[in-house]
Chains A and B, each alone.
Chain A
Amino acid sequence: MRVFQDIVVGSGPGGAITSHFLKKAGRDVLLIEAGSRLFQQDTVAFSKDEMLRKYWNGGVTVTLGTPRIPFILGKCFGGGSEINAGIYHRASPQVLEEWARRFQLRDIDAASLNEHYEYFEKELTVSSMPDSLIPKASKVLAEGARKLNWKCFEVPRWFDYDKAENQKQTMSETFLSRNIELDLEMVFEKTVRKLKQENGIWRVLTFEGDSYHAENIFVCAGAVQTPSILMRSGIGRNVGKSLQLHPTIKATALFDDEINTEGMGVPVHQVREFSPAISLGCSISSLPYLSLALSEFKNYPTFARENWKRMSTYYAMIRPESCARIINIPFTRDPVIRYDLSDRDIANLLFGLKKLCQLLFAAGARKVFPSLLDEKFILDSEDQIESKLTRVDRKLIQLMSIHLFGSCPMGENPALCATDSYGRINDREGLYVNDASLLCTSLGLNPQGTLMCFARRNVLHFLETRGG
């Protein structure tokens, strides 16, 4: 029986970084990934093919509750980093302060975290888009904000604009490629079912029927699967009860001028006037996505095809107070996610939507299609916003979410936390979580930057204290 020193479950940002530093320290490591061994060039970004091959459940699962919220997670070599927009943020001091206070998270002084942030900013070439490349759809947002005198920024991304192709610095492009050079052992298309500890050795069982052994396990399977695996293994304290996501509402706008182009990708501006409660930004707006956005408006079936160059989709994302619960279902890898948004969250979403529409009209929109399931909500001018969007049945609100985290919060508060301040599962020797599940609360911002920062912090701490 082969016993590895460490097994890392999942190759998303959490798992990629964890396995990299373990391997670099000379340890005997195995990486287990449920998705396929695919690289950036193997699929076209935001295509149907990518959906089928790189998304967990093809991206079609939803949370249960009213409204039901579709959410997207990656399932491939590199996890979410392969399919995301690459938008980078550091956590705000207020949020970190809250984590320290409520969750009693230790050792998160700005200086030590900055070292990690700076590491990734350099390693992943976090940078601003050259001005000449910034899409018009993005500038429209900035223009609207300028007219209203709202705070708006161009957000940097982990993109290497000097490269001819594969500019996005995904995990498969960076840390995982380095892992390949370091001869890290990896298995693909194996979905971990549960973990068992026998005589001080961990046994990892998969749905495919394999088992692997190691002294330490790092569960980095993302905010839904990590708690799900732990719960299947009977490790349950404060696990899976506090999943957070960023409910996002969208609006698609039609302008006079052409603002959209083939292969535009995701525009890079964000409006932070209402942060951290609400942020506004741009979404992927290729023709298939625009058509999807308009598909419930029966009288506009070909509208997107005819006007797509003058259209783009924008979002309002809130930092909710509600939490979701993960409920495991026997004999299946996919848990049910129960998520009931509070009335305040709904009100916040509608407030965000109104602000977004106001901004779009200020920027010159001729028509705005909010993601509400009725044609009566389509807006032709700014003065319709109040009358049409004030009373909306929550059943008609179409939301989505791409940021999930917080399902195994870290810290020293025994009432709230699933792990200690460095991701070690309490009372279990050799069992760690090191992915988005650890983030204590919503950042109100795109989370991967902060998740990477903590992933490196935690794994280096492990190497210092135990792995030396």
Chain B
Amino acid sequence: MHIYHIFSAFTYALGRQYSDKKNFNADADFVYRQYRNLPWYFRVVFACLALFLDLALMKGLVPFHRLQLRDRLHKVERLKRLNLGVTNDFLTFFNGLTAFSVYSGPSRETTG
């Protein structure tokens, strides 16, 4: 649940670039399910990174995944500018999947 929240905090922030809709749950779900699809050794790296960034991108005592949008966007911008290899990969993963999902249409896909 915790990881899911961190992931949706990223997806909700990145999704704004692509659409002015308000509900990005379908996209957050997609990103999360793709994370779950990764082999476990990549998943562990992503999970650790997510937990680390949640704290590293804290404002005051509030972790990233509970910040308001403006603060989160600001933090993501700063992270991009840091330009570190592994965080770049993390953002590229989220950003690409979010863009793909947002433009894939409105409905949440059913799973079988």
Q: Do A and B have CB atoms closer than 8 angstroms in the complex? A: yes
Are B111 and A52 interface neighbours, CB within 8 A?
yes
A window 262-316: CB within 8 A of B: 287-292, 294-296, 298, 301-302, 304-305
Q: Contact string, A29-72, partner B, CB cutoff 8 A, digits 1/0?
A: 00000001010001000011101110001101100000010000
> In the complex where A48-B109, A52-B111, A305-B18 touch, is A288 in contact with B38 (Cβ < 8 A)?
no
The smallest beta-carbon distance between A46 and chain B, in angstroms, is 10
- Residues of the A chain whose Cβ atoms lie less than 8 Å from the Cβ of B92: 295-296, 373
B103 CB–A CB distance under 8 Å: yes
Are A58 and B37 interface neighbours, CB within 8 A?
yes
Are A305 and B103 interface neighbours, CB within 8 A?
yes
A53-B112, A288-B100, A332-B39 known, 10 other contacts, Cβ within 8 Å: A52-B109, A52-B111, A58-B34, A61-B38, A287-B103, A290-B103, A295-B92, A296-B96, A302-B18, A305-B18
Q: Contact string, A371-412, partner B, CB cutoff 8 A, digits 1/0?
A: 001000000000000000000000000000000000000000
A329 CB–B CB distance under 8 Å: yes
The 8 Å CB contact of A60, one of B37, B99, B101, B103, is: B37
Query: Which size class do B's interface residues fall under?
Result: 20 to 34
Instruction: Name which of B18, B98, B111 has the most chain A CB atoms within 10 A of its CB.
Output: B18
A173 CB–B CB distance under 8 Å: no
The 8 Å CB contact of A304, one of B38, B97, B103, is: B103
Are A47 and B112 interface neighbours, CB within 8 A?
no
Query: CA separation between A340 and B110, bound complex, in Å?
Result: 38
Query: CA separation between A419 and B95, bound complex, in Å?
Result: 43
B93 CB–A CB distance under 8 Å: yes
Instruction: Name which of A38, A287, A291, A373 has the most chain B CB atoms within 10 A of its CB.
Output: A291
Query: Which size class do A's interface residues fall under?
Result: 20 to 34
- Residues of the B chain whose Cβ atoms lie less than 8 Å from the Cβ of A295: 92, 95-96, 98-100
A window 408-443: CB within 8 A of B: none
B41 CB–A CB distance under 8 Å: yes
The smallest beta-carbon distance between B101 and chain A, in angstroms, is 6
Are B34 and A47 interface neighbours, CB within 8 A?
no
The 8 Å CB contact of B101, one of A48, A68, A296, is: A48
B30 CB–A CB distance under 8 Å: yes
Query: CA separation between A61 and B34, bound complex, in Å?
Result: 10
Q: Is the interface of B mostly helix, strand, loop or mixed?
A: helix
Residue of A nearest to B102 (CB): A291
- Residues of the B chain whose Cβ atoms lie less than 8 Å from the Cβ of A336: 41
A window 333-385: CB within 8 A of B: 334, 336, 373
Query: CA separation between A58 and B101, bound complex, in Å?
Result: 13
Are A61 and B33 interface neighbours, CB within 8 A?
no
Q: Contact string, B68-112, partner A, CB cutoff 8 A, digits 1/0?
A: 000000000000100000000100110111111111100001111
B40 CB–A CB distance under 8 Å: yes
Are B109 and A49 interface neighbours, CB within 8 A?
yes
- Residues of the B chain whose Cβ atoms lie less than 8 Å from the Cβ of A301: 17-18, 99
> In the complex where A48-B101, A304-B103 touch, is A334 in contact with B112 (Cβ < 8 A)?
no
Query: CA separation between A60 and B101, bound complex, in Å?
Result: 14
Query: CA separation between A182 and B65, bound complex, in Å?
Result: 55
Task: Give A contacts to B, CB under 8 Å.
Answer: 36, 38, 42, 47-49, 51-53, 57-58, 60-61, 68, 287-292, 294-296, 298, 301-302, 304-305, 329, 332, 334, 336, 373
- Residues of the B chain whose Cβ atoms lie less than 8 Å from the Cβ of A38: 112
Are A60 and B93 interface neighbours, CB within 8 A?
yes
Query: CA separation between A233 and B39, bound complex, in Å?
Result: 20
- Residues of the A chain whose Cβ atoms lie less than 8 Å from the Cβ of B109: 47-49, 52
Residue of B nearest to A36 (CB): B112
7 contacts between A and B (CB under 8 A): A52-B109, A52-B111, A58-B38, A60-B97, A332-B39, A334-B41, A373-B92
Residue of B nearest to A52 (CB): B33
Are A47 and B104 interface neighbours, CB within 8 A?
yes
Query: CA separation between A306 and B33, bound complex, in Å?
Result: 28
- Residues of the A chain whose Cβ atoms lie less than 8 Å from the Cβ of B102: 291
- Residues of the B chain whose Cβ atoms lie less than 8 Å from the Cβ of A53: 111-112
> In the complex where A36-B112, A42-B112 touch, is A332 in contact with B104 (Cβ < 8 A)?
no
The smallest beta-carbon distance between B15 and chain A, in angstroms, is 10
Are B39 and A48 interface neighbours, CB within 8 A?
no
Query: CA separation between A287 and B101, bound complex, in Å?
Result: 10
Query: CA separation between A61 and B42, bound complex, in Å?
Result: 9
Are A60 and B34 interface neighbours, CB within 8 A?
yes
Query: CA separation between A290 and B112, bound complex, in Å?
Result: 27
> In the complex where A52-B111, A295-B96 touch, is A288 in contact with B103 (Cβ < 8 A)?
yes
The 8 Å CB contact of B30, one of A42, A48, A57, A332, is: A48
Are B39 and A57 interface neighbours, CB within 8 A?
yes
- Residues of the A chain whose Cβ atoms lie less than 8 Å from the Cβ of B39: 57, 61, 329, 332, 334
Query: CA separation between A290 and B33, bound complex, in Å?
Result: 22
Instruction: Name which of A48, A57, A304 has the most chain B CB atoms within 10 A of its CB.
Output: A48
